[in-house]
Amino acid sequence: MTLSVVIMLALPFSPQPARAEDSMIWALTPLPPAMIEKDGKIVGYGVDILDWFIARMPAITHTKEIVPLARLMQKMTMPGTVCNIGLVPTPERRQFLIFSKAVLPHLPVALITRADKTADLGPFRDDNGNIKLADLLASGRFHGAVRTSRSYGPAIDPILQQFAGTPVLEQVGNDAHFLSMIELGREEWTLYFPAEAEYYRRNSAPELEFISSPIAGNSDPLPASISCTRTTMGAMIIQKIDAIVATAPDMPWTDFYARSLSKSDQRWFEKAQEQFVANSVDFPLNSADQ
């Protein structure tokens, strides 16, 4: 009997070190409130959702790494298995990444105003209650602020460009204090994802009551997914996530996201999620379709 066999018999229950092929990295970018860097760690509802899935893949060694946004795509092209939550699938990214089915239909960018402005917005709503943003700006009645160089999506950006430089639209380099400006009456509206608005309210304007109004042409929820590099491990992770999603239509992990919303936006999300599930949205394509 060789020495190696003796050692194995003497330590039959010793844990085996993780093999490289059983290990992977989660590249996480600080983007509040989904991911917030705090004391060298990253927290937020996006991390909570991720941890929910990680707990259901115990055979894999998961390592989280904070990666600045500017370096994220470089990290996603490095050797080994690297995964991310929240990247938007594009034809270019699909060449080297595998995307899961949607794991979170988060609410889209909305018009954020004081709650007491609800009635004033009536003339600018369509039959579905969505804000006609171009009409609102053209009226000249409401002064708002947006962040310079930020893209708010293809349905909104052209409207903002049309009114750039006019008295009704101020462009500011940092949007962290927009809710404080609205609370003080210095601005009347801004554009945020609803979870962003609630995050900034809790941190800088806790007494403010605001409403999030869907914008015409931009009212559908935005499906977020998980992506991994095209390795054997990456494909296995995506397959596991797709299997979990397929067997849990109520999407219990989205409770973390719901808690990040205001009470009124929680009701909006509940309805949006019900519609999302009822329509059997499968976005983006799962790994079998790559």
CB 33 within 8 A of CB 199: yes
Residues 28, 42: Cα–Cα separation, whole Å: 8
The last residue of one of the domains, among 173, 195, 213, is: 213
Query: Are 236 and 95 contained in the same domain?
Result: yes
Query: Are 209 and 274 contained in the same domain?
Result: no
The amino acid occupying position 178 is F
The amino acid occupying position 53 is F
Residues 47, 44: Cα–Cα separation, whole Å: 5
CB 105 within 8 A of CB 115: no
What is the domain extent for residue 191?
110-213
Domain for residue 146, yes or no?
yes
Model-wide pTM > 0.85: yes
In this structure, what CATH number is given to the domain that contains residue 196? 3.40.190.10
DSSP strand pairing (189-192 vs 110-114): antiparallel
Residues 256, 275: Cα–Cα separation, whole Å: 19
Query: Are 243 and 180 contained in the same domain?
Result: no
Domain for residue 171, yes or no?
yes
Query: Are 95 and 227 contained in the same domain?
Result: yes
List, for residues 246-288, the tens digit of each pLDDT value: 999 899 999 999 999 999 999 999 999 998 888 865 544 433 3
Query: Are 140 and 195 contained in the same domain?
Result: yes
List, for residues 99-153, the tens digit of each pLDDT value: 999 999 999 999 999 999 999 999 999 999 999 999 999 999 999 999 999 999 9
